[in-house]
Amino acid sequence: MRILSYNVNGIRAALGKGLADWIQQEQPDVLCLQETKAQLDQIPTSLFEELGYKGYFVSAEKKGYSGVGILTKQTPDAVYYGMQNSKYDCEGRVIRADFGDVTIVCVYIPSGTTGDVRQAFKMEFLADFEAFITHLRTERPNVVVCGDYNIAHQPIDINHPERQVGVSGFLPEEREWLTHFIETGMIDSFREFDSRAEQYSWWTYRMGARKRNAGWRIDYHLVSQPLRNQLVGAGIMQEVVHSDHCPVWVEIKQ
């Protein structure tokens, strides 16, 4: 099963930049999308069906904001929308699909860059999301948690880390949370296969950052430990340019 995760920064904008042609060429088994920025009636599900994918989406109540979705060739055994917590679910941040004994969770973790209120909201989300995944793993041990985490974990995951002190997305408490979450029994699948620096998945649109590769690695597939022996590979598709993010992928044996 080849699983791709992609923050598209607006699904309609990405489609205008050739997203559909790229999906047809790439043919992932599952494509998890974040920041769709669209209401359900604005998402062209019939187009995805023509490409061979069933689409499942959660939108934010606020128009043009957040939103996640899963495109899949195989019909899931079950799909669950949100975390059953209205505080977060109104922002369209989590969707889950079960395939046999494997569960895929697509998450768009909040950003804290707009100020203290949203940073506090982000930290609350992180705590509650960890509890959500921990409980899920008692019932479904084989879990892939993919998406935009809005956290660069280690200095190797961000350009010029010495310049990012005090910046949301690289705060000590965010990085500590991610370390702890991994220590609960999750695997950073990319780092299982690639230990190189300067492997980023997001670049600001400002100052030609992408051309200079002045980026952050904030998009992950975290895979639960029971799936370790089924990991085949993982990577970052930096050449794909429909968004300020690029897709990341993981492959597992089923």
Sheet holding 2-7, edge to edge: 54-58, 68-72, 30-34, 2-7, 248-252, 231-236
Helix (H, G, I), strand (E, B) or coil at 130: helix
Pairing of strands 142-148, 68-72: unpaired
Q: How far apart are the first and last CA of the chain?
A: 7
Active-site choice (89, 98, 101, 148): 148
Eight-class DSSP state of 158: B
- Residue indicated by tokens 């669950």: 80
- Least Cα distance to 5 among 176, 235, 195 occurs for 235
Give the number of other Cβ atoms within 10 Å of residue 143's Cβ: 24
- Least Cα distance to 21 among 252, 193, 241, 230 occurs for 241
148 is catalytic: yes
Using CA atoms, how far residue 176 sits from 92, 112, 171, 195, in Å, is 25, 16, 9, 20
Structure tokens at 159: 């350009």
**Residues pairing with 42 in the sheet:** none
Torsion over CA of 188, 192, 193 and 199, rounded to 10 degrees? Answer: 40
The dihedrals phi and psi of 73, each to the nearest 5 degrees, come to -75, -40
As annotated, the active-site residues are: 148
